[in-house]
Amino acid sequence: MDKLHQTLMRYFGYDAFKTGQEDIIRSVLQQKDTVAMLPTGGGKSLCYQIPGYLTDGLVLIISPLLSLMEDQVERMKMRGEKRVAALNSTLSFQERRHIIRHLPSYKFLFVAPEALMSEVLLEQLKAMLVGLFVVDEAHCISEWGHDFRPEYSKLGEWREALGNPVALALTATATKQTLKDTVQTLRLEHPDVHIHSVNRPNIALLKEAQETKEAKEKRALELVETLQGPGLIYCPTRQMTEDISRLVKQKTHQRVEFYHGGMESGDRMLIQQQFISGQIDLICCTSAFGMGIDKANIRFVIHMSPPQSIEAFMQEIGRAGRDGKNSVSVLLYTEEDADIQSHLIQAEGFDDPEIDFFLARLSQMPINDEKKLREQLMEAGLQETRARMLSHYYTMYQTEQPRLLMKKLKEKLQDRQTEKLKKVWQFKEHITGHRCFRQSLLSYFDEQLDLTEDASFGNCCSSCGLDLSDYEKKDQPLELNEMKHWKTELDRLFHLTKEAQH
């Protein structure tokens, strides 16, 4: 057994790698910058943990979500790894200071991209050997980096400041453009690229057209009652997660909670852990939930409307069936859904008077700190996502003449909006088409359906005659059975127990 497999057995108890893992790990160990796409459940975290055990220096992991960081850290600690920490917004000032002061004692450090804006942290990292610079869920560079999380666009700059450690970018879904964005943003030259299929053949794909929002809600309740759980219901808005959760509680016997980014972080973490441990059957959530969540037995994912892109859809359905067993994705949609998503995207934009007003505010601030500019805009009444965009582009172009700055700013904002709207309408075409839904989705990623691979699972998609009954609960609900007198039932169980002891 070579050293790589010895490390796999010692730290993780496995005697073989999953598809793609070994090639990615060997690439990193050969000091090659590496971009890798493995399907959800493909074991991406192993690809930086094993190199961490076999090389010198800190493994710095840039992670997009608090829940993802916490989940990874807890799993590593449960496996006995004590040299791991996460710097995030849930920590007190004293806790953050303690971690930064004791960085040399850690082997793995998880941070959000925003954390690297801290000069104190960056200076401490510069004084250390950073052996591996990991960007987890690297598709966020394209999906979020231009507006929602502009700090992603600075990852290459920060990596250079740390002496250009070996980079590893990991994702489960990526188009050619996403991969190109990742390579450019991280400033990688001739990286090793390892691409594996986004297809999850054990997840059947069902799409159902409904007439109204109310019809979708009624159908969701039917599915929750009949499908084998546990499950997730993805909703387009925070309010809908609460509404659907309330409806499920009223109409079914499911243990259900809602989850979205507007909740307190402690509440979100509690619900996440209850779901992972089996205390909750169903979560109604926004896209804020699920990335990297290690719950292997999720049996269904329901979408109350299509997400804004095929990439997001493939990420979210990938929460199901991580144990390799048959699971199902159900997409409920109406004719108006694409219009609603388009309206939400357009609402994020700026009209000319708004740009004039906020640029005037920015020009009055003698600050070149993007974070402080963003805070000032939020204090002036701008919603956080829009404040992120405006402060980022202003910082990028502020050396230009005012008229040219305005022109470039408008062009950039318009380009982003156009790109996002394009993805919404692309997805609608894939949903309303009549060919195999799986093949249609794979074609977006320039893939072809491997018929031999999918044939072993039988059920492909609703376009190919999917039988939903294969995913329904097999046992009769207790309340439908004839209930015996409780004393008779207790006596029966007691005698069964006594017999089992002999």
Query: Residue 475's pLDDT is what?
Result: 63
- φ, ψ for residue 310 (rounded to 5)? -65, -35
Q: What is the pLDDT of residue 218?
A: 94
What is the rounded average pLDDT of the residues 291-295? 68
- Give the pLDDT of residue 369: 67
Q: Kindly state the average pLDDT of the residues 464-487.
A: 63
3-class SS of residue 27: helix
Alpha-carbon span 285 to 187, nearest angstrom: 35
Return the percentage of the chain with pLDDT > 70, whole number: 84
C-alpha distances out from residue 178 to 37, 60, 168, Å? 11, 22, 15
Q: Is the pLDDT of residue 322 over 70?
A: yes
pLDDT for residue 204: 94
CB atoms within 10 A of CB 252: 15
- pTM comes to 0.76
Q: What distance in Å separates the CA atoms of residue 207 and residue 333, rounded to the nearest whole number?
A: 8
Domains of the chain: 3-195 (3.40.50.300), 203-334+433-471 (3.40.50.300), 341-423 (no CATH)
- Rounded CA-CA distance 62/225 in Å is 39
Calpha distance 341→344 (Å, rounded) = 5
Higher pLDDT, 483 or 339: 339
Among 376, 113, 116, 111, smallest CA distance to 384 is for 376
pLDDT, mean of residues 124-141: 84
Cβ–Cβ < 8 Å for 58, 103: yes
**Lowest pLDDT segment from 114-128, 339-353, 362-376, 457-471:** 362-376
pLDDT (tens digit, 9 = 90+) per residue, 147-177?
Answer: 446 667 778 888 898 999 999 988 877 777 7
Q: How far apart are CA 155 and CA 168, in angstroms?
A: 12
pLDDT value at position 76? 85
Two structure tokens written together for 147: 């507006």
pLDDT at 16: 86
Residue-level pLDDT at 239: 92
Distance CA 248, CA 244 (A): 6
Mean pLDDT estimate for the chain: 81
Distance between CA 327 and CA 317 in Å, rounded?
A: 10
Could you tell me the CA-to-CA distances from 8 to 12, 21, 74, 131, 467 in Å, in that order?
Answer: 5, 11, 19, 19, 39
For residue 191, cis peptide bond before it (omega within 30 degrees of 0): no
215/130 Cα distance (integer angstroms): 54
Are the C-beta atoms of 239 and 304 separated by less than 8 Å? no
User: What angle is formed at CA 318 by the lines to CA 63 and CA 192, rounded to 5 degrees?
Assistant: 55
Would you call 43 helix, strand, or coil by DSSP?
Answer: coil
Encoded amino acid at 500, one letter: A
Angle at 313 between CA 416 and CA 333, to 5 degrees: 100
Arithmetic mean of pLDDT, 441-459: 71
- State percent of the chain over pLDDT 90: 26
Q: Do 47 and 24 touch, CB atoms closer than 8 A?
A: yes
- What is the phi-psi region of residue 302: left when phi exceeds 0, alpha when psi lies from -120 to 50, beta otherwise? beta
Whole-number Å distance between alpha carbons of 445 and 29: 28
Residue-level pLDDT at 216: 94
The angle that helices 352-363 and 384-397 make with each other, rounded to 10 degrees, is 60
- Predicted confidence at residue 366, as pLDDT, reads 65
pLDDT of residue 1: 64
- Is the model's pLDDT at 194 over the cut of 80? yes
pLDDT band, very low/low/confident/very high, at 498 (cuts 50, 70, 90): very low
Q: What is the pLDDT of residues 198-228, one digit of tens each?
A: 888 899 999 999 999 999 999 999 999 999 9
Q: Which residues contact 363 (CB under 8 A, 6 or more apart)?
A: 402
Average pLDDT over residues 179-200: 86
326 dihedral zone (left: phi>0; alpha: psi -120 to 50; beta): beta
- Taken as a whole, the chain contains a residue count of 502
Strand segments, DSSP code E, in 197-264 are 203-209, 231-234, 256-259
Per-residue model confidence (pLDDT) at position 208? 93
Q: Cβ distance 300 to 231 under 8 Å?
A: yes
**Residues forming a β-bridge with 60:** 109, 133
Are 266 and 306 in contact by the 8 Å Cβ rule? The answer is no
Q: Please give the Cα distance from 285 to 244 (Å, whole number).
A: 9
Residue 29 has pLDDT above 90, yes or no: yes
For 366-424, what is each residue's pLDDT tens digit? 666 667 777 777 877 777 777 777 777 777 776 666 677 777 777 877 887 888 888 89
The structure tokens listed for 490 are: 């207790």
- Tally the C-alpha atoms within 13 A of residue 406's C-alpha that lie toward its C-beta: 13
